[in-house]
Amino acid sequence: MATVPHLQINNLRAKIEDKEILKGLNLEIKGGEIHAIMGPNGTGKSTLASTLMGHPKYEVTGGEVSLNGEDLLEMAVDERARAGLFLAMQYPSEITGVTNSDFLRSAINARRGEGNEISLMKFIREMDGKMSTLEMDESFAHRYLNEGFSGGEKKRNEILQMMMIQPNICILDEIDSGLDIDALKVVASGVNEMRSEDRGFLIITHYQRLLNYVKPDFVHVMMQGRIVKSGGPELAERLEAEGYDWIKAELGIEDETVNAE
């Protein structure tokens, strides 16, 4: 029944307050594909993630985004999630008083809809299994959502949510920042376990490091609020080895950040 997921971004422009950050971005992601977006700081990578999810601070000023043929930009944040979009956030919120497991069950049931709620037993079984894949202590199920979690624990928790919710398009926003190599491997194994024809990924990262463990099909470089270069996995390797200057030189870019006019 499931059609292959398809996210289409055309000429997307977005601003925060009065500052335009995305300046005409194009990208297409289909089920089965893993895309990586790389780029130096301040080039609009995280803005892209937040804009796609519908963060209230970002305002879309132009372009279109469709998810499986539907207008994503018309949807509220929760509707985007229920349509299959997921964003593993760089800075997840801490929510006092809401336990991780209650939250996750609410999220799963929100997607499944009324009358089709997951049974408690099945939920616990799945959560236990995925927490063990991510090497998370059982106590995390009953702790308040992200409260007092270390940076690495928060990142694992984002991946746990992704694994439990089973979205169609997954965006990982700097999921690797602040992780040591062991944690990185654990997170990567979670992502690899999710890899499927029914699911597309967009991995936003500074570093090649994560891509050693999660092999991307496409690598894009972002500068000045748009994608300026695309290629295969070899592009990430060259960036790791040589940095970004050669791209800037090739394209005649002096200031790669969105501040550049």
Partner 1 sequence: MGTDTQLRFDQEAIKQYSQTNQEPSWFLEQRIAALALTQTLELPKLEKTKIDKWNIDQFHPFQTEASVETIAELAEIVKELVDVQGVSSLLIQKNASVIYKQVADELKAEGVIFTDLATALREHGELVQKYMHTAVKADEHRLVALHAAACNGGTFLYVPKNVEVKVPVQAIYQVAGNDSLIAPHVVIIAEANSRVTYVDSFVNGEGSNMVASSVVEAFVGSNALVQVASVHSVSDQVHDYSFRRAVVEQDGRIEWILGEMNDGNTVAGNESILKGKGSTADTKSITIGTGKQRSNLTSKVQHYGTHTDSQMLSKGVMTDEAVAILNGITKIEKGAEKANGEQAENILMLSEKARGDANPILLIDEDDVTAGHAASVGRVSEESLYYLMSRGIERRQAERLVIIGFLDPVVAEIPIEGVKDRLRQAIERKLG
- Interface residues toward partner 1, by CB under 8 A: 53-56, 76-78, 80-82, 86-87, 89, 92-93, 95-98, 102-103, 106-107, 110-111, 144, 161, 165
Shortest distance, CB of residue 112 to partner 1, whole angstroms?
A: 9
Q: Which is nearer to partner 1, 164 or 219 (CB)?
A: 164
User: Rounded distance, CA 126 to CA 87, Å?
Assistant: 21
CB 22 → partner 1: shortest distance, Å? Answer: 18
The structure tokens listed for 142 are 């009953």
Burial 62-94 (b: 16+ CB within 10 A, else e): ebebbbbeeebbebeeeebbbbbbbbbbbebee
* Minimum CB distance to partner 1, residue 32 (Å): 23
- What angle, 0 to 180 degrees and rounded to 10, lies between the N-to-C axes of helices 120-133 and 181-194? 130
CA separation, residue 89 to residues 50, 61, 197, 198, 256 (Å): 9, 23, 23, 22, 24
The residue (of 111 and 248) whose beta carbon lies closer to partner 1 is 111
Minimum distance from CB of 80 to partner 1 (Å)?
A: 8
| 108 versus 235: smaller Cβ distance to partner 1 | 108
Cβ density class 227-236: b for 16+ within 10 Å, e for less: bbbeeebebb
* Strand order, beta sheet including 6-16: 19-30, 6-16, 58-67, 70-71
113 vs 252 by CB, closer to partner 1:
113
To partner 1, the closest distance from the beta carbon of 83 in angstroms equals 9
CB closer to partner 1, 78 vs 182: 78
